[in-house]
Each structure stands twice: as structure tokens, then as C-alpha cells.
Amino acid sequence: MSSDLYTGRNYAEAHPGWHDEDAGTKAAKIAKIVRANNITCQKIVDVGCGAGGVLNALLQHDIFCNSSAVGYDIAPYAINVAKQRERDNLSFHCGDFLQTNESYDCLLCIDVFEHIDDYIGFLRKLRGRSKYYVFHIPLDLNILSLLRCQPLQKRKEVGHLHYFDQATALATLRDTGFEIIDRQYTRTEDFLHIHPEWRSKKSILANAGRRIVRTIAGEDLSVRLLGGASLMVLTS
């Protein structure tokens, strides 16, 4: 899929909010995993920052109160929205982060590399640009999603070119040179207060099933069977 999907008008017209409604919850999850591992981040960069909501919300958490952040995205529409949030410790740039050379304490890559043709090459080029990295990876591969043909829906609706479960997501990061420090799930249930349209009878039943399997057999098996989660990974 061409990057024209994001630099042109098509994606903005299909997703005018650029998924910014989820930014506060994602930022809270990033803050949680960073805090849990006692990491200090003075300089932060968000690669594929979209409309800038994650960085904007992240800097409001106490552990980032003395941090500065910069966001990069190739989409002019998204950066035009993000620039309205700029302040002394927050800036945004329309362009390819890989064409720059500055290094950071923490690099965010939130729901990004599943959209990129050469995701292996992209990840390898990120190595060495930061002390720590936080990745958020949709887990599109699970038994329920395959039965319902959902990966192809993700391809059509939001441009996912690659599909992962927990094992392949972690293997991809290891194979491209990252060392896993910690990983946590973010659940679809965490976003229900933002997306009331997700509260259909089918989704209510699916979430109930996930809770049952999670209680009996653990979250890893629940996610492999029934999905309903993405993976937040902290690496060095």
C-alpha cells in the first residue's frame, strides 16, 4: 500500500479524528510501563505521531513533567492538527524521521510499523536512535479474527499491511535487534468509554468470553483465542 494513503486526502476523509480519541488511554498505558520500569525520559520522540494526541497527553503525566517531546509524521493533515498543540516543550514536524539524525531517551512507535511495506527495514533503521523504545502493536491474529476474516477488514479500513500475534510481534522486535524489557496488553475494554459504538451484543459476548478464558487459563491464551488486545512493549 502506498504512503499516498496517508499523505493524500483519503485517510483523513475516512478518519478525520486520526484516531486521536484513543490518545489519552494510550498515553496512560505508556506512562504505566515506563513508570513500572523506573525509566527516566528527558527527550522523547514519537515516530508516526498522527495528530499529536499521544504526546500531548503523555506530557501531562507527572513522570514526564520535565520532559520535552517532538513528533514526526509524513501526513500533512495530521501534522496541521498536531501543530495546534505545540508549546515550549512540544513540537511537530511533517517529514520522515529516518531522514534526521538526532538521538533521544525514549522513542515511541505507536500503531505504526504494521502500516509500513518494509517493516523489518524500518525497525532496523530505528535502532541506535534512542536509549529506550515503546512500541504499541495491534494483535490482529487470533482464532476468532481469522474465523471472521478481520485481518482483511483491518487492511481495508485502516491500512494494516502486516498482522501479528504476541509471539510474532515479540519475535519481530528481537529479530531486528531490540531487547525486550517489559510487555503489557492494552485491551479493547479499556477503550469502551471512548467508543460506545463498540458495545454491540456481539462485542459484549466476546468481552465476557475473554474475561472467562482470562480467569481460567490466563490472558495470553485468551488473546490468542479471542483477541481483544494490542501489545505495549518496552525495549532497549
What is the tens place of the pLDDT at every residue in 20-45?
Answer: 888 999 999 999 999 999 999 999 99
Residue 183 has a pLDDT of 97
15 vs 89: CA distance, rounded Å: 28
CA within 13 Å, CB half, 47: 27
pLDDT, tens digit only, all 236 positions of the chain = 446 666 666 665 556 666 788 899 999 999 999 999 999 999 999 999 999 999 999 999 999 999 999 999 999 999 999 999 999 999 999 999 999 999 999 999 999 999 999 999 999 999 999 999 999 999 999 998 898 888 888 888 788 999 999 999 999 999 999 999 999 999 876 665 665 555 556 666 776 777 887 888 888 888 999 888 999 999 99
Amino acid found at 228: G
Helical packing angle, 219-226 and 166-175, nearest 10°: 100
Neighbours of 121 (CB within 10 A): 11
Residue 202 has what pLDDT?
63
Closest CA to 75 of 162, 2, 161, 3: 3
Domain extents for the chain? Answer: 4-188+228-235
pTM score of the predicted model: 0.89
Q: Which CATH class is domain 4-188+228-235?
A: alpha beta
Burial category of 150 from C-beta neighbours within 10 Å (exposed 0-12, middle 13-18, buried 19 and up): middle
Q: What is the mean pLDDT of the chain?
A: 89
β-sheet bridge partners, residue 91? 70
3-class state of residue 111 by DSSP: coil
- Which pLDDT score, from 0 to 100, does residue 9 have? 64
> Which parts of the chain fold into alpha helices (H)?
4-7, 10-14, 23-36, 53-58, 76-82, 119-126, 143-147, 150-158, 166-175, 201-217, 219-226
Q: What is the pLDDT of residue 2?
A: 47
Residues 191 and 25: their CA atoms lie apart, in Å, by: 7
Q: According to the model, what pLDDT value does residue 155 have?
A: 86
Q: How confident is the model at residue 211, as a pLDDT?
A: 80
| Residue 227 confidence (pLDDT) | 87
